[in-house]
Amino acid sequence: MSYLEDIVLGVEETNDRGAPEVTISIKGLTMLKDGLICGRCLADLRPLGAFPEKCPDCGFKVKELQQQQMIEDVKKTVKVGSRVSLQDEIDALGVWTPSQGDNLHL
Ligand SMILES: [Zn+2]
């Protein structure tokens, strides 16, 4: 049993882009937010403590970039989610395509 079984619910290969779409559990999302797993490769960072300088596996700058990346992901999600104005929502849906979906799927 790997820690990833609790975190990754599914991985879907995509043909049009390099990165596969990864579906992450609430637990995984919380660990990402807390800097306990790498936001790029999902390496277990717990032995290093929260938000280490760099991921030991892929070199991702966890301390510098992970929280920013989470914020960007949330922004993308909000863009297709609820808006006050229906027209805004329609406009947002018009420009959004799954190919921009590097965000996390809950
Ligand atoms: Zn990594």
50-67 confidence digits (pLDDT tens) = 999 999 999 999 999 998
Residue 72 has pLDDT above 80, yes or no: no
Compute the C-alpha angle 27/30/36, nearest 5°.
Answer: 100
* Residues 37-47: tens digit of each pLDDT: 998 899 999 99
Percent of the chain residues topping a pLDDT of 70: 65
Q: How far is the CA of 57 from the centre of ligand 1 (A)?
A: 5
Q: How far is the CA of 96 from the centre of ligand 1 (A)?
A: 27
Q: How far is the CA of 16 from the centre of ligand 1 (A)?
A: 23
Question: Are the beta carbons of 92 and 79 closer than 8 angstroms?
Answer: yes
Question: Are the beta carbons of 55 and 45 closer than 8 angstroms?
Answer: yes
Kindly state the DSSP code that residue 34 receives in the 8-state scheme: T
Residues with CB under 5 Å of ion ligand 1 are 38, 40-41, 43, 55, 57-58, 60
